[in-house]
A and B are shown apart, each in its own frame.
Chain A
Amino acid sequence: MTEKIITKKEVEYVAKLAKLEFNEEEKEEFTSQLNSILDYFKKLNELDTEKVEPTAYVISMPTLLNNDEVKPSLLQKEVLHNSKYIKKDYFKVPKIM
């Protein structure tokens, strides 16, 4: 029996961070799935990586920089085109709280 690495409460916290919601059944399922996966990830601890540099970028080259030049923007209708929740020139979203 693998010891629990992540609790249901933590699953709920992570879901909140990720803006996802689950019913009770799904939460249970997720908790056990995530626990198996994280248990498997423990494998990484077999490796001593104290003196190893992390690879954040597989390529190394001078930074690409663009010139300070203005190019045309999208037309407003192109921008608003993909939503039906529009009011005049704006995207409409529900109130914050």
Chain B
Amino acid sequence: MALNQLTAHEIVSLIKKKKVTAYEVMQDIFSQIDKVDNLTKAFLFVNREEALRQAKEIDTKVKNGEELPALAGVAVAIKDIIATKGIETTCGSKILKGFIPPYNATVINRLKESGAIIIGKTNMDEFAMGSSTENSAFGPTHNPWDLERVPGGSSGGSTAAVAADEAFIALGTDTGGSIRQPASLCGMVGLKPTYGRVSRYGLVAYASSLDQIGPITKNVTDCALVMKVISGHDNMDSTSVNLEVPDYLKSCQKGIGDLKIGVPKEYFIKGIDSEVKSALDRALKIFAKLGASIEEVSLPHTEYSLPAYYLIATAEASSNLARYDGVQYGYRTEEYEDLASMYQKTRSEGFGSEVKRRIMLGTYALSSGYYDAYYLKAQKVRTLIKEDFDKAFSKYDILITPTSPTPAFKLNEKVSDPLTMYLSDIYTIPINLAGIPAISLNCGYSANNLPIGLQIIGKHFSEETILRAAFNFEENNDLEKKRPSIKPAKHMEAAK
């Protein structure tokens, strides 16, 4: 097996044991990027020289017998919505092309302190608005499992990079499912932490009360490792919670015979792909075998989470994106007569249509006369959705659902069935509204080799529990683990 195909945990161990050098590992990563990134188009920017230099530094430390930190030598890909000092940060948008932040996000500093090496910035839906990475101003990313399909979004680039072994780990962001859904579509592990668990300082804001940064990894062990590094209170983020960070890796490894699992019935209605349904059923049987109890539960306000989410997220986004006006940084239109026309042309030319649509919706929802009817109403419904989960968690430790109602769909082909489109939002959005943590991991494959994801949801600050459940499932999921082909589907060639 090539070095790039290993996990972060394995690589750190090999480097520490001097079986490999960090430099060789990094070279192998870049040879994989050279081989496949023109196909996946996961990366927007690759930091080759600097990464190799940092790898050499790790090797020097090893030579000097210095103690190595938790992620020493691990190549990490960063979603281009997270500020990296001296490295262009575009958020997948024309309006930030060329913007170079003079500072690092807190999570970046924490990764660097842990010895991880940032190898590049990954593609995404513009300003995190989308679920396929087709809304990027710089072209879509392709799913390594079938290059004609989407990797999911908005963290499509980060997920594809890890799935194609172009990086060991990646950071994505999740406002309405943008870590979990691509993880599901690409067969990876993706975790959205509890709101406030991970610092948002340096995360370019989409919806401030919903956004979270989280890890995208090849397995649960790596996920736990990264969570330990990036979690924790930050003095630069007033919404980051001052709670101790547990040893996630350690707690993973306990059994789950004590777990009470709830399965929300509102998630299993018509519109779910039959292969997804059977993969879920099979998975639940495994949990039962491991000793967990499984029962149906109701989250009665589930269907209202969609309008509530879109009102709250777009309202906050319309305010967060108002700063993109061409004055201080980023794109500025070439021709204008005065300030007003400069603002209008810059923003209209710089933003893509999905972003503009959401800004319009959000602006309307907050405008005078409509605030109570829309924004305030949505916040009240948010309370009801949160209470649904609180009630469920008074009886159950975790909830299990599919992450996505279908496997990856084709590029340029929005899913046709409106019910399916509806479900694809419903599975992930309520979790963000409630601010609770959830992890997606692979639980099977479709007949045409596309990954199917399982979502485990926990109550506030119960990352330990959901990681433990995920770890145990992963260990006992006796399904042959497949690798993505990084080729277009064979039938395309046959059709020719």
List the interface of chain A (C-beta within 8 A of B): 6, 10-11, 13-15, 17-22, 30, 33-34, 37-38, 40-41, 43-47, 49, 52-59, 61, 63-64, 66, 74, 78-79, 81-83, 85, 91, 93-97
CB of B327 within 8 A of CB of A93, answer yes
B192 contacts chain A at the CB level, 8 A cutoff: no
Q: How far is A57 from B357 in the complex, measured between Cα atoms in Å? A: 25
| B contact residues around A30 at 8 Å (CB) | 357, 360
Give Cα A59–Cα B240 distance, bound, in whole angstroms: 9
B383: Cβ under 8 A from any A Cβ: yes
Neighbour of A61 across the interface among B241, B307, B381, CB < 8 A: B241
State how many angstroms separate the Cβ of B372 from the closest Cβ of chain A: 10
Main secondary structure of the interface of A (DSSP, over half): loop
* A97 and B338 contact, CB distance less than 8 A: yes
Pairwise interchain contact A54-B209, C-beta atoms closer than 8 A = no
List chain A residues, Cβ under 8 A from B435: 58-59
Contact of A78 among B99, B102, B339 (CB under 8 A): B102
Can you name 26 A-B residue pairings with CB atoms under 8 Å? A14-B364, A14-B367, A17-B363, A18-B347, A19-B322, A19-B344, A20-B344, A21-B344, A41-B307, A49-B377, A54-B376, A54-B379, A58-B209, A58-B435, A59-B195, A59-B239, A59-B241, A64-B235, A64-B240, A82-B328, A83-B328, A83-B329, A83-B332, A94-B337, A96-B339, A97-B339
CB B463 to nearest CB in A, in angstroms, measures: 15
Q: Is B384 part of the binding interface, using a Cβ–Cβ cutoff of 8 Å?
A: yes
What A residues does B361 contact at CB under 8 A? 34, 37
Q: How many A-B residue pairs have CB under 8 A?
A: 143
Is B218 positioned at the interface, with any CB of A under 8 Å from its CB? no
**Closest Cβ–Cβ distance, residue A43 to chain B (whole Å):** 5
Determine whether the beta carbon of B98 is less than 8 Å from that of A82: yes
Q: Chain A residues near B138 (CB, 8 Å)?
A: none
Q: A57-B239, A59-B196 are in contact. List 20 more A-B contacts (CB 8 A).
A: A10-B364, A17-B367, A18-B359, A18-B360, A34-B360, A41-B307, A47-B384, A49-B380, A49-B383, A54-B382, A54-B383, A55-B383, A57-B209, A58-B435, A64-B240, A82-B98, A82-B99, A82-B330, A83-B327, A91-B328
For window 275-314 of chain B, which residues contact chain A by CB distance below 8 Å?
A: 301, 303-304, 306-308, 310-311
8 Å CB interface, B369-405 against A: 374, 376-384, 386
Q: Which residues of A contact B374 (CB under 8 A)?
A: 41
Residues of B332-350 whose CB lies within 8 A of A: 332, 336-340, 342-345, 347-348
Q: Which of B330, B338, B348 touches A96 (beta carbons < 8 Å)? A: B338
Contact A33 B357 (CB under 8 A): yes
Of A14, A44, A57, A93, which one neighbours B381 at CB under 8 angstroms? A44
**B308 surroundings in chain A (CB, below 8 A):** 44
Q: Are A58 and B195 in contact, with the CB atoms below 8 A? A: yes
Which of A11, A43, A49, A93 is in CB contact (< 8 Å) with B360?
A: A11
B231 within 8 A of A: no
- The number of chain B residues with a CB under 8 A from chain A is 63
B51 within 8 A of A: no
B356 contacts partner chain A, Cβ-Cβ < 8 Å: yes
User: What are the residues of chain A within 8 A of B13 when measuring CB–CB?
Assistant: none
Interface centre among B196, B310, B361 (most CB of A within 10 A): B361
Spell out B's residues near A (CB within 8 Å). 98-100, 102, 195-196, 209, 235, 237-242, 301, 303-304, 306-308, 310-311, 318, 322, 325, 327-330, 332, 336-340, 342-345, 347-348, 351, 356-357, 359-361, 363-364, 367, 374, 376-384, 386, 434-435
CA distance A84 to B465 in the complex (A): 51
Q: Considering the complex of A and B, which 3 residue pairs feature the smallest CB-CB distances, nearest first?
A: A58-B435, A54-B379, A82-B329
Contact across chains for A40 and B307 when beta carbons are under 8 A apart? yes
Shortest Cβ distance from residue A25 to the other chain B in the assembled complex, whole angstroms: 12
Closest to B324 in A: A19
Residues of A within 8 Å of B382, CB to CB, are: 54-55
Closest B residue to A79 using CB positions = B102
Considering the chains assembled together, what is the distance between the CA atoms of A49 and B382 in angstroms?
10
In the bound assembly, the distance between CA atoms of A31 and B270 in angstroms comes to 31
Instruction: Collect the chain A residues with CB atoms within 8 Å of residue B344's CB.
Output: 19-21
Q: Name the CB-closest residue of B to A85.
A: B332
Query: Which B residue's beta carbon lies closest to that of A80?
Result: B328
- A44 and B377 within 8 A (CB): yes
Is the pair A66, B235 in contact by a Cβ cutoff of 8 Å? Answer: yes
Complex Cα distance A83/B325, Å?
12
A70 to B310, CA, bound (A): 40
- A94's partner among B238, B306, B336, B363 (CB-CB below 8 A) is B336
**Contact between A6 and B364, CB atoms less than 8 A apart:** yes
Check B356–A82 contact: CB distance below 8 A. Answer: no
Chain B proximity of A30: nearest CB distance (Å): 6
In the complex, chain A residues whose CB is within 8 Å of the CB of B237: 64
Assembly CA distance A56 to B417 (angstroms): 34
Is the beta-carbon distance between B328 and A14 smaller than 8 angstroms?
Answer: no
Q: Which of A43, A46, A74 contacts B102, CB < 8 Å? A: A74
CA distance A21 to B382 in the complex (A): 32
Residues on B with C-beta less than 8 A from A11 are 360
Q: Tell me the bound Cα distance from A61 to B240 in angstroms.
A: 10
CB distance from B367 to the nearest CB of A (A): 6
* Chain A residue nearest to B233 in the complex (CB): A64
In the complex, which of the residues A18, A44, A57 contacts B318, with contact meaning CB atoms closer than 8 Å?
A18
A82: nearest chain-B partner, CB-CB: B329
Closest residue of chain A to B379 (Cβ to Cβ) is A54
